[in-house]
Chain A
């Protein structure tokens, strides 16, 4: 099983700032089969990024994904008030697994 480790656990930032979230895999993720999701309290997760860098339908371009192999990054270029949430990475190169999540909170 591929273990995904997200860092940091919590990111405290102000609106307008840049957020950089990391996701590290215990072994290489084949074909960049890496996705990112956003989850707000009491809501289901929402797909943001798939294939490591492709934005899902309707996702603003302030969200971008990058990386390959074992190291992946989700960047939010300028935080909007609605972006404060928990973010999960997920690999689907083998039996799917999720990271433990990064909470982006208002500083």
Chain B
């Protein structure tokens, strides 16, 4: 069974940093691109970015709203994807979901809440 478990969320002040982790199990992690999607309270879904598998260069793409502030990385030996979030803004407050896939997302984690507030 595919499982994705996010961790690392919490309350952080504007301008600070936070790193989220996504621990995967139940599939060959290194074979898949991994994406992050977020959902602000009471709002819809927003794509954040993705990282390709090593077979496709392990490169990344980001939404314009986070480009230059957020970085996605992966450790295939540990089956973990990371989302490093710097220079956080109040509008980054959301539940952050780790998902499997680059195009459409066939597996989702339960999400981790990030609150950016002073």
Within 8 A of A (CB), among B92-115: 97, 102-106, 108-111
Residue from B44, B97, B102 in contact with A44 in the complex, judged by beta carbons closer than 8 Å = B97
A97 CA to B110 CA, complexed, in Å: 20
Q: How many A-B Cβ pairs are below 8 Å?
A: 49
CB distance from B40 to the nearest CB of A (A): 12
Q: Is the CB of A90 within 8 A of B104?
A: yes
On chain A, the residues within 8 Å of B108 by CB distance are: 44-46
* Complex Cα–Cα for A95 and B47 (A): 9
- For B98, give the chain A residue with the smallest CB separation: A44
Is residue B11 contacting chain A, with contact meaning CB distance below 8 A?
A: no
Task: State whether the Cβ of A50 lies closer than 8 Å to any Cβ in chain B.
Answer: yes
> Interface of chain A, helix or strand or loop or mixed?
loop
- Closest-CB distance, B32 to chain A (whole angstroms): 14
Q: A46 to chain B: which residues have CB within 8 Å?
A: 108
- The number of chain A residues touching the other chain, given as a range, is 20 to 34
Q: Among A45, A47, A50, A97, point to the contact of B47 (Cβ < 8 A).
A: A97
Q: Which residue of chain A lies nearest to B105 when distances are taken between CB atoms in the complex?
A: A47
In the complex, how many angstroms separate the beta carbon of A59 from the nearest chain B beta carbon?
11
Chain B binding surface, main DSSP class: loop
User: When the two chains form the complex, which single residue of A33, A44, A50 contacts B109, counting CB atoms closer than 8 Å?
Assistant: A44
A1-29 to B contact mask, C-beta < 8 Å, 1/0: 10000000000000000000000000000
- Output the least CB separation between B44 and chain A (Å): 5
Residue among A1, A95, A99 with most chain B CB within 10 A: A95
CB of B76 closer than 8 Å to a CB of A: no
Residues of A within 8 A of B (CB): 1, 33, 35, 37, 44-47, 50, 56-57, 88, 90, 92, 95-101
Closest 8 CB pairs of A and B: A44-B108, A92-B103, A35-B104, A96-B47, A98-B45, A50-B104, A47-B106, A100-B44
> Can you list 21 A-B pairs, Cβ within 8 angstroms, ordered by A?
A1-B64, A35-B103, A35-B104, A44-B97, A44-B108, A44-B109, A44-B111, A45-B97, A45-B105, A46-B108, A47-B104, A47-B105, A56-B106, A90-B45, A90-B47, A95-B47, A95-B63, A96-B47, A96-B103, A99-B44, A101-B45
